[in-house]
Amino acid sequence: MVGGISPFLKIMDLAAKHGRKLAPHFAMEVHLHLSAAYPLEPWLEHFEWLNPLFNEQLELRDGRMWISDRHGLGFTLSEQARRWTQLTCEFGKRP
């Protein structure tokens, strides 16, 4: 698990320097951009069961995922994803 884009880029650089392949997992809508920046051929996974979370869908063609030309990461969260989102999260001692 990596805590954001900048830490992922550091791991990606370290893996490339050592000739290691990298396989980001889970929401390809985010990881696709990171994988495209990777100098070695990346492995990608696509979980179709996550499709309802996004208004836009990834373009899969000829065994490849294509990066969107939309702004930002190229996707917006669906109303279903918004219903599952918490606006705040509190941390503290257990009772």
Number of H helices, E strands in the chain: 3, 2
Q: Supply 66's token pair.
A: 């294509």
Structural contact between residues 2 and 8, judged by C-beta atoms closer than 8 angstroms:
yes
Predicted TM-score of the model (pTM): 0.62
Q: Summarize pLDDT for 36-86 with one digit per residue, the tens.
A: 887 776 677 778 888 888 898 888 888 888 888 888 888 888 999 888 887
What is the number of structural domains in the chain?
1
Residue 65 lies in a domain: yes
Residue 88 lies in a domain: no
Residue 38 lies in a domain: yes
Can you tell me the mean pLDDT for 2-9?
Answer: 83
- What does the buried/exposed string (b/e) look like for 25-49 if buried means 16 or more CB atoms within 10 Å of the residue's CB? eebbbebbebbeebeeebeeeeeee
Can you tell me the mean pLDDT for 5-18?
Answer: 88
pLDDT at 26 exceeding the cut of 80: no
Residue 37 lies in a domain: yes
